[in-house]
Amino acid sequence: MGRDSITKIRHRSIQLPGTKGKCAKFKAQRIFNHQSEKMALRLCQPLLASKASPTTTIRLRRFSVQSCIVDPIQSRKLVLSVKEKLEKELPSLPVGKNGRDDEDMILRFLKDRKFSVEEAVSKLTKAIKWRQEFGVSKLSEEAVKHVAQTGKACVHDFLDVTGRPVLIVVASKHFHSAQNPAENEKLCVLLIEKALRKLPPGKEQILVLFDLRGFGIDNADLTLLTFVLDVFYYYYPKRLGQVLLVEAPFVFEPFWQLAKPLLKSYASLVRFCSVETVRLEYFTEATMPASFRG
């Protein structure tokens, strides 16, 4: 569904001081969009490089920096570094689950920021403050009951075959012109929180399933989609495992072309598929959502 942008990969060598090892590998990619013919160059800098290391020739290749391999001991040290830095510089931030001393949360943000302490602290601080301002801990079913009654979104009772909680969105039941935008946003966050509470031990990510059967132009809502993507990207990093776009009709194509640039790093998580694929690959007969049964 939708043709991918024409992509060309260019290799080049550059000299940078203070880089060595696996974490010093660069990747860059020139992306050529067949519609606008505009070029963008994304360059990710090396992480955890020693200031004392010599100048190194780095090979630019593909799109993003390679994942840094951090052993459990080093990972633990970095978590404590973030924790201590937040305690020292921002003692007024809340503590406890989803607070400045939540080590599981700190580790996710470190992974998201390729184990850069400074970047993790910055992003985590914004996320904690957002949770306070948005009132995440105070959200309730009662607060969103009017928009929830539409049945346009819910958390499935069962996990998928890989053990992920499933958030189901029925696009044909969403009408942005007839529903309160603020309530829509609250419903989205409430359902994300509800899905995360269903995570079994050892699991960190959820599956989001968009049922696009019956989708029409009145159901398209780029503003809400932007909000949801921003919420996952900035405040719930490493929580989105996969996004399924099920039975996308032809009328979805223009909306998809507008939505693709907003996906950022989540583009690789999106899969267009059929109802049959959902049945065969993501659920058992006992755990399948009722709306996807034959």
Q: What is the pLDDT of residues 5-19, one digit of tens each?
A: 333 333 333 344 444
Is 67 within 8 Å of 38 (Cβ atoms)?
no
182-218 confidence digits (pLDDT tens): 999 999 999 999 999 999 999 999 999 999 999 999 9
Q: What is the rounded average pLDDT of the residues 125-145?
A: 96
Of residues 280, 287, 215, 289, the one with CA closest to residue 245: 215
Q: With 70 as the cut, is the pLDDT of residue 251 above it?
A: yes
Is 248 within 8 Å of 274 (Cβ atoms)?
no
- β-bridge partners, 109: none
Q: Which long-range contacts (CB under 8 A, 24 or more apart) does 73-79 make?
A: 75/107, 75/110, 75/115, 78/110, 78/115, 78/117, 78/120, 79/103, 79/106, 79/107, 79/110
Q: How far apart are CA 46 and CA 115, in angstroms?
A: 11
Is 206 within 8 Å of 241 (Cβ atoms)?
yes
Q: With 80 as the cut, is the pLDDT of residue 50 above it?
A: no
Q: With 70 as the cut, is the pLDDT of residue 35 above it?
A: no
Domain ranges for the chain = 7-60, 72-136, 140-292
**Tokens, residue 100:** 């400045």
Q: What is the rounded average pLDDT of the residues 147-154?
A: 96
| 3-state DSSP assignment of residue 16 | strand
- Which class is 72-136 in CATH? mainly alpha
Q: How far apart are CA 123 and CA 107, in angstroms?
A: 12
Query: Regarding the domain delimited by 140-292, which CATH topology (the fold level of the hierarchy) does it fall under?
Result: Phosphatidylinositol Transfer Protein Sec14p (3.40.525)
| Pairing label, strands 270-273, 166-170 | unpaired
Other Cβ atoms closer than 10 A to 214: 12
Q: How far apart are CA 36 and CA 287, in angstroms?
A: 44
Is 267 within 8 Å of 145 (Cβ atoms)?
no
**pLDDT at res. 68:** 59
Q: How confident is the model at residue 264 (pLDDT cuts 50, 70, 90)?
A: confident
What pTM does this model have? Answer: 0.77
**pLDDT at res. 122:** 98
Question: Under the phi-then-psi rule, with left for phi > 0, alpha for psi from -120 to 50, and beta for the rest, what region is 170?
Answer: beta
